[in-house]
């Protein structure tokens, strides 16, 4: 298979795995919500938020570093450096993980006091201490799977991270809650699959290294270990900062809501925010399809091609993501009943988040263009500004408006992040698209999805019959409109882009 064929196949596998993981993440929220109620769900997701922030920080960017460094070393014939590069990556992660565990264990009561009310502190303290040893294993899973990706294996990452872990979590939580066990058992069922995943990832990476790091003629001389460490961490450390900022943006609002309003409000808001983020599968699909092409266009200075790709994918995201968020906003009360009683209080917050996601998805590929244009430092600064906005907004608005304030803070965060990236892409990188080029898909979604949905919501309410009728009408009307205006929308170009193989590198075999 050619290099382009392998890349296309890898993109498809990653897309299917990512979609599976996103769906199972939403299923997990439903299982937890119905099994633990709003208060138990709050404790659960507060623990998950703290766990994931710590785990991602402890990765130190070594996961992305191994993807980059191992693939470079193989292509340059530096096979003698492969094993030592893995050790260079793992050493600081393990060391810092041990330090964090030593700090978190005695600090658990203090952390619990920051994150929840006095009544919930003993519960959260116990959960933090019981899961703290697994945080390092979660970090190692990501780093080891980064190594497998660097050695050319997309299947291990997809199978273990995007499918195996989510399936194990959903199944484990479902079993323990179905058997009548409570919060503590559910948290353990969520966390312990990391231990199995770490062993599996380690075995896979070791086998890949044995196959790849073999002596042979024409290999480069081994790089001195100090130089190898400098090379690795000069790239990985900044990426680690950006990754920590990104994961904090995903979870910090849940922690702040729990700290100010208590676990019940945190449970409702956690479910609402998971619902809103479930629609980002469309963005991930577009990013996987166009990233190599945008990278090639930016590298060769072909701004016209970059603009064309940006326009096509932005239109596609509006046509695919906006109907999802319109439907979720219109039928928010019904959607939240899936999670059990007590979650209806998040209806207003879910509507606000859906509107915010119109902005995120309507901006198209600005984040990807920044990265593929070599401006990762710009994106890191954008994420830092967004995190400051998010924390300040939550601290100011949550006491005034409750979880609706958290939703407003997240909307402001998206406005800052997307606004900065859009300005940089349009004004500095000059990959701009005229707003008028996006009016047609916006109007089609409003006419085919928004107006019928509003009429049905107004006449039939937010029940199941209205939702079913809305989905049928929206599908028929939007499909018909897209077929009618397919040339103006460039639908044929988008379909060809998704089918087409990515261009092979000049030196690909």
Span 60-86, pLDDT tens digits: 888 878 877 787 777 777 778 788 888
Give residue 89's domain range: 1-214+225-260
Residues 283, 251: one domain? no
Domain count for the chain: 2
The Cα 314–Cα 134 span in angstroms is 40
My answer on whether 235 and 273 are in the same domain is: no
pLDDT in tens, 347-361: 999 999 999 999 998
Looking at the structure, tell me whether residues 256 and 200 fall in a common domain.
Answer: yes
Same domain, 40 and 87: yes
The secondary structure of residue 301, as a DSSP letter, is T
- Would you list the DSSP string of 116-182? S-GGGHHHHHHHHHHHHHHHHHHHHHHHHHHHHHHTT-HHHHIIIIIIIHHHHHHHHHHHHHHTT--
Using one digit for the tens of pLDDT, what is the confidence trace for 439-465? 999 999 999 999 999 999 998 888 889
Residues 144 and 165 in one domain: yes
- For residues 500 and 293, is the Cβ–Cβ distance under 8 A? no
Residue 11 zone, left/alpha/beta (φ > 0; ψ -120 to 50; rest): alpha
Residue 340 CA neighbour count, 13 Å, CB half: 18
* Residue 411: inside a domain: yes
Residue 276 within a domain: yes
Cα-only R_g, the chain: 23
Contact 45, 236 (CB under 8 A): no
Band the pLDDT of 492: cuts 50, 70, 90: low
Task: Look up residue 207 and give its two tokens.
Answer: 């086998």
Judge contact between 61 and 80, C-beta under 8 A.
no
In whole angstroms, give the CA distance from residue 313 to residue 287: 9
Global pTM reads 0.78
Does 10 have pLDDT greater than 90?
no
User: Is residue 484 in a domain?
Assistant: yes
Are residue 162 and residue 172 in the same domain, yes or no?
Answer: yes
Q: What local confidence, expressed as pLDDT, does residue 410 receive? A: 94
Confidence check: pLDDT of 504 > 50: no
**Burial of 159 per CB tally in 10 Å (0-12, 13-18, 19+):** middle
The pLDDT of residue 1: 47
Same domain? For 272 and 161 the reply is no
**Phi first, then psi: what are they for 184, rounded to 5°?**
-60, -45
Among the residue ranges 73-77, 127-131, 258-262, 448-452, the one predicted with the least confidence is 73-77
Report the pLDDT averaged over residues 18-43.
83
* 421 in the same domain as 366: yes
Between CA 205 and CA 139 the distance in angstroms is: 15
First to last CA, the chain: 9
Whether the per-residue pLDDT at 509 is higher than 60: the answer is no
Asked if the structure places residue 508 within a domain, the reply is no
CA–CA distance, 458 with 168 (Å, rounded to integer): 41
466 vs 229: CA distance, rounded Å: 60
Helix (H) or strand (E) holding 57: helix 3-59
Within 179-262, where are the H helices? 183-191, 193-212, 225-261
Same domain, 245 and 175: yes
- For the chain, percent helix, then strand, then coil, each to nearest 5? 85, 0, 15
Instruction: Say if residue 229 is in the same domain as residue 277.
Output: no
DSSP 447: I
Q: What CA–CA distances, in Å, run from 168 to 21, 33, 429? A: 11, 18, 43
Q: Which residues contact 423 (CB under 8 A, 6 or more apart)?
A: none
Q: Which two tokens stand for residue 172?
A: 């484990």
- Tell whether 219 is covered by a domain: no
Task: Indicate whether 179 and 320 sit together in one domain.
Answer: no
In the listed set 239, 260, 281, which residue is the last one of a domain according to the structure?
A: 260
Distance CA 194, CA 198 (A): 6
Is 313 contained in some domain? Answer: yes
How much of the chain exceeds pLDDT 70, in percent? 87
- Using CA atoms, how far residue 477 sits from 71, 445, 451, in Å, is 47, 9, 11
Q: Which of the 8 DSSP states describes residue 433?
A: -
Query: Are both 186 and 276 inside the same structural domain?
Result: no
CA neighbor of 470 nearest in space, from 458, 459, 479, 457 = 457
Question: What is the predicted pLDDT for the residue at 14?
Answer: 56
- Residue 17 CA to residue 21 CA, distance in Å, equals 6
Q: Six-digit token pair at 18?
A: 């990512």
Indicate whether 35 belongs to any domain.
Answer: yes
Q: What is the pLDDT of residues 150-205, one digit of tens each?
A: 787 667 777 888 788 889 999 999 999 998 888 999 999 999 999 999 999 999 98
| Within-domain flag for 509 | no
Q: What is the rounded distance in angstroms from the CA atom of residue 249 to the CA atom of residue 412? A: 12
CB-count burial class (<10 Å; 0-12, 13-18, 19+) for 25:
middle
SS3 217: coil
Task: State how far the Cα of 306 lies from the Cα of 315, in Å rounded to an integer.
Answer: 14
pLDDT band at 244 (very low <50, low <70, confident <90, very high): confident
Q: Is 394 exposed, middle or buried (0-12, 13-18, 19+ CB in 10 A)?
A: buried
Q: Work out the average pLDDT over 212-241.
A: 75
* Cα–Cα dist 172/336, whole Å: 23
Q: How confident is the model at residue 4 (pLDDT cuts 50, 70, 90)?
A: very low
């Amino acid at each position: 298979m050619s290099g382009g064929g392998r890349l296309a196949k890898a993109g498809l596998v990653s897309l299917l795995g990512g979609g599976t993981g996103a769906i199972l993440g939403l299923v997990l929220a439903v299982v937890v919500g119905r099994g633990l109620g709003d208060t138990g769900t709050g404790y659960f997701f507060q623990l998950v938020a703290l766990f994931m922030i710590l785990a991602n920080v402890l990765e130190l960017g070594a996961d992305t570093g191994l993807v980059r460094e191992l693939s470079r070393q193989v292509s340059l014939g530096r096979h003698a450096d492969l094993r030592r590069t893995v050790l260079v990556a793992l050493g600081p992660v393990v060391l810092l993980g041990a330090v964090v565990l030593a700090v978190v264990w005695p600090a658990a009561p203090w952390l619990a006091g920051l994150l929840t009310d006095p009544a919930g502190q003993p519960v959260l303290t116990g959960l933090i201490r019981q899961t703290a040893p697994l945080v390092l294993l979660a970090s190692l899973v990501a780093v080891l799977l980064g190594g497998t990706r660097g050695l050319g294996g997309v299947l291990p990452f997809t199978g273990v991270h995007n499918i195996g872990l989510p399936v194990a979590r959903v199944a484990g939580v479902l079993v323990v809650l179905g058997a009548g066990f409570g919060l503590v058992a559910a948290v353990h069922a969520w966390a312990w699959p990391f231990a199995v995943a770490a062993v599996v990832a380690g075995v896979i990476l070791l086998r890949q290294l044995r196959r790849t790091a073999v002596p042979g003629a024409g290999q480069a001389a081994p790089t001195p270990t100090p130089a190898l460490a400098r090379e690795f961490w000069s790239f990985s450390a900044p990426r680690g900062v950006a990754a920590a900022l990104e994961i904090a943006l995903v979870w910090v609002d849940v922690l702040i809501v729990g700290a100010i309003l208590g676990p019940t409000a945190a449970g409702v808001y956690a479910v609402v925010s998971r619902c809103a983020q479930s629609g980002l599968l469309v963005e991930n699909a577009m990013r996987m399809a166009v990233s190599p092409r945008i990278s090639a266009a930016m590298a060769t200075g072909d701004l016209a091609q970059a603009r064309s790709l940006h326009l096509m994918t932005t239109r596609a995201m509006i046509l695919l993501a906006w109907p999802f968020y319109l439907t979720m906003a219109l039928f928010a009360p019904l959607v939240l009943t899936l999670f059990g009683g007590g979650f209806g209080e998040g209806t207003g917050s879910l509507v606000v988040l859906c509107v915010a996601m119109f902005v995120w998805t309507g901006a198209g590929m600005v984040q990807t263009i920044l990265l593929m244009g070599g401006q990762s430092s710009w994106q890191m600064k954008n994420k830092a500004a967004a995190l400051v906005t998010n924390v300040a907004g939550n601290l100011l608005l949550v006491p005034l408006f409750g979880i609706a304030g958290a939703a407003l803070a997240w909307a402001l965060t998206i406005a800052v992040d997307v606004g900065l990236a859009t300005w940089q892409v349009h004004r500095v990188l000059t990959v701009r698209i005229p707003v008028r080029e996006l009016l047609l898909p916006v109007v089609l979604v409003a006419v085919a999805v928004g107006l019928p949905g509003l009429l049905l919501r107004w006449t039939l309410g937010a029940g199941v019959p209205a939702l079913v009728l809305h989905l049928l009408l929206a599908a028929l009307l939007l499909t018909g409109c897209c077929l009618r205006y397919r040339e103006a929308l460039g639908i044929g170009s988008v379909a060809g882009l998704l089918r087409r193989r990515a261009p092979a590198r000049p030196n690909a075999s």
